[in-house]
Amino acid sequence: MKASDYIVEFLIKKHITDVFGYPGGMVTHLMDSLDKYSGQITAHINYHEQACAMAACGWAEITGLPGVAYATSGPGATNLLTGIACAFFESLPCIFITGQVNTYEQKGKFKVRQKGFQETDIVSMAQPVTKMAVMVQKSEDLPGLMEMAFHMAMEGRPGPVLLDIPMDIFRAEIGKKHSSEVLSAPMQEEYHRAEVIAREILYQLHQARCPVILTGHGISLSGTREAFRKLIEHIKIPVVTSMIAVDAISSDSPYRFGMIGAYGVRWANYLLSHSDCILSLGSRLDCRQTGVNTELFAPKAKILRVDVDPGELENTINDTEKQYCISLQHLVPYLLHEALQLPWDFSNWLNCCTHVRKRLEQIEQIEPGNRFAERLGEILPANVTVTTDVGQNQVWIAQSLFIKQTQRVLFSGGHGAMGYSLPAAIGASIATKRPVIAVTGDGGLQMNLQELQCIVREKLPIKVVLMNNRSLGMIHHFQEIYFKSNYAQTDCQKGYTVPDFLKIAQAYGIRAVRYSEKIDIEQLVSDNDPALIEVHLPQNTRTFPKLGINRPIHEQEPLLDEMVKTELEGIFNNMNIYPPPPDAY
């Protein structure tokens, strides 16, 4: 059979129903094969290859299967790289297929920069941000490499892979026989190891007086959200999250205390700083979470770190932390099973944490962006996914959106790519077949504005919520603090301007409105038609609280009044917190 037909059949057999791409000369055979099988798999055409890759990320995060995107050689392939990096840093399984010039047109060992038109060594460029990047050299290698690519994308810590395929290999004939599956079931020893680790972790939690669980993106990636929530409901320990894991536990849970870190909610950081035991599940504990000076991070706490990637555990936070390199997919079910056999009572500590949160909520500065995020969270149905861009809009959503039980919130966290929200929303909407709210800023929207046409063409129920303060707000705030309010390149007086977004949306045929109290936003976000809702904000809108350099994470700006700090310390010190009896475990 033709190699490009084999690729499409392979994807169909792996339950891939949608792929994202942009036409180009070197992928014409793949395009033709996708059209041949259009009843079983759909090729969604974006308007920039970067958006193809980001849409594949959104699709992968919702489905748990590899998102697939393709592009032609040269600029098509290089345009994928930003989205490939997003998949890599967010640990999303993706398969990227790039076309390459015919094998007989390639420069090989010649020292010329390029022989074939648009010939580019995309493999070398992609290797640092993929789990595997290879060029298919011979048509008979294709079946094995496709199996390996799927396996690599999904196994262990998920991530992207790239196959660079020359045009003559796309059109080559290969045998119909599929290679054998390389996916193997976990060894029995791994299950036994998970059981032993679960018991050890629970023992240490049980002996703590003030434990906190920090959950990262690994909970969602491992498919253990439901088991994790049942675990928390039983042991009743306060939970804080990383930014990209804010949807790991719903906002109405009495055990959820929000996002930690540089832009985290202040009470979440306070809890960590006064805890004596932190169980970190699938979180990288990077400097945005701990602060630059890790000696100031949770100085009273024993840290128990669980991560599937041994490389992440090389970044130690302190010399006494206990590390467990194991998949949460194996561990969390055992944590739940073992925890159900034990009595748990941290009610005094939980009451203390709740008291601190209520006190800080009374005095915290609320920005207009946070108020709108609160309003949005109130009206969104539970089955609506939210995507965010990078910048202030992302922080406001992470801090203030009320998250329902089944809701998903998608971020470009580690890579922090502006322009992510809109194409990720396309992938998520196609995966869920339900409305998606694409929250973005005026800067981020212009990075992939062309994807409004994709939304219109496919009649996707995507609502673009534009938080428009007519500036690059995060940098604008940074300049206010550190550059004496010299807003170089970030506002309209210094070179940054924005268009009339309502007119642009209308030109694409999208209903567009400016938010006000008179607008029935609840109706706008609940129907199945595309829409753009522009939220006007002051140009000097800020993101608070914000961590200053070399401060402990609970000392965020604006700094608390000394009397308030003393009051909070009194709450922690005076609560009647006792450890369980020695024989309770």
Q: What local confidence, expressed as pLDDT, does residue 182 receive?
A: 47
Say how far apart CA 209 and CA 214 lie, in whole Å.
16
Residue 296 phi/psi, 5-degree rounding, is -90, -5
Residue type, 132: M
Read off the pLDDT of each residue in 191-210 and give the average, rounded to a whole number: 94
What digits encode the pLDDT tens for the residues 282-339?
A: 999 999 999 999 999 999 999 999 999 999 999 999 888 999 999 999 999 999 999 9
**Secondary structure (DSSP) of 202-215:** HHHHHH-SSEEEEE
Is residue 562 over pLDDT 90?
yes
Token pair listed for 564: 């308030």
Higher pLDDT, residue 110 or 339: 339
Is residue 178 over pLDDT 70?
no
Starting at the earlier edge strand, list the strands of the sheet with 531-536: 409-410, 385-388, 436-441, 462-468, 531-536, 511-514
Is residue 432 over pLDDT 70?
yes
Higher pLDDT, residue 582 or 259: 259
Q: Spell out the residues 6+ positions from residue 199 whose beta carbon is closer than 8 angstroms to its own.
A: 338
Token pair listed for 324: 């467990």
Residue type, 302: K
Three-state secondary structure string covering 394-437: HHHHHHHCCCCCCCCEECCCCCCCCCCHHHHHHHHHHHHCCCEE
Is residue 180 over pLDDT 60?
no
Q: Spell out the residues 6+ positions from residue 143 whose beta carbon is closer than 8 angstroms to its own.
A: 6, 10, 174, 175, 177, 178, 179
Q: Is the dihedral of CA 399, 401, 402, 405 positive or negative?
A: negative
Q: What local confidence, expressed as pLDDT, does residue 585 receive?
A: 53
Say how far apart CA 110 and CA 107 lie, in whole Å.
5
Q: What local confidence, expressed as pLDDT, does residue 183 receive?
A: 44
Say how far apart CA 113 and CA 374 lie, in whole Å.
54
**Which residues are registered as beta bridge partners of 22?**
none
**Secondary structure (DSSP) of 225-282:** HHHHHHHHHHH---EEE-GGGGGGS-TT-TTEEEE-STTS-HHHHHHHHT-SEEEEES
Q: Percentage of the chain with pLDDT > 90?
A: 85
Residue 374 phi/psi, 5-degree rounding, is -60, -45
Token pair listed for 392: 């202030």
Residue type, 335: L
Q: How many helices (H) and strands (E) does the chain have?
A: 25, 20
What digits encode the pLDDT tens for the residues 96-108?
A: 999 999 998 888 8
The pTM (predicted TM-score) of the whole model is 0.95
Say how far apart CA 130 and CA 161 lie, in whole Å.
5
Q: Spell out the residues 6+ positions from residue 178 whose beta carbon is closer than 8 angstroms to its own.
A: 10, 13, 143
Read off the pLDDT of each residue in 556-560 and give the average, rounded to a whole number: 94
